[in-house]
Amino acid sequence: MAWHESTAALGTEIITLELDPKMIAASRRTFDKYRLNDRIKLIEGPAGESILNLTGQFDLVFVDANKDGYQDYVQKILNRKLLSPNGLILCDNSKPPHRTRRHPRYRGDVLTRISDDQSLLAA
C-alpha cells in the first residue's frame, strides 16, 4: 500500500511476488478493498521462478523474502537486465546485526558476498 500511495503521481506499475497462499489471499483482499489493482500486479509462486518470467526494466527492486534466496534473486535480476540503468536493488536485512550473524536464517557468507560486492554499491 505504501509503494502504491507514494507513487500515485507517477502512476508507477508495481509487481509483487509471493509464494504463501495465505499471504496471497490477504494481499488480494487488501488490493480489492483499497482498489489498488490498477497498478499492482501480484505474481504467485516462488520468486526464483517468477523472476525468470519478468520482462522490462525496474527502477526499484525491493527484495524482502527468504534470505537464502537473495543471492539468486539479485543475480537473476542483473543477468536478465531487469534493473534500469539508474535502478536500485534494496535487500531487506541483507547484512544481519552482529549478534544474529550465526543464526541459520542468515547465510552470512552469501549475504556478505552481496553486500560486499563493490559493483553493486550505489555511487
Query: Sign of the CA dihedral 43, 64, 62, 81?
Result: negative
User: Closest by alpha carbon to 19, among 27, 7, 9, 30?
Assistant: 27
Which residues on neighbouring strands pair with residue 44, listed in sequence order? 18
Quickly count: other Cβ atoms within 10 Å of residue 23's Cβ.
Answer: 13
Amino acid at 86: N
Q: Which is nearer to ligand SAM, 18 or 61 (CB)?
A: 18
Q: Cβ closer to ligand SAM: 90 or 116?
A: 90
Burial class (CB in 10 A: 0-12, 13-18, 19+), 87: middle
Q: Which of 6, 13, 20, 79 binds ligand SAM (CB under 6 A)?
A: 20
Which residues inside 52-111 make contact with ligand SAM, applying CB under 6 A?
Answer: 64-66, 69
Name which of 17 and 91 has its Cβ closer to ligand SAM: 17
Candidate list 18, 40, 67, 77; residue touching ligand SAM; CB under 6 A: 18
Region binding ligand SAM by CB under 6 A among candidate stretches 16-24, 82-90, 95-103, 113-121 = 16-24
State the residues that interact with ligand SAM by CB under 6 A.
17-20, 23, 46-47, 64-66, 69
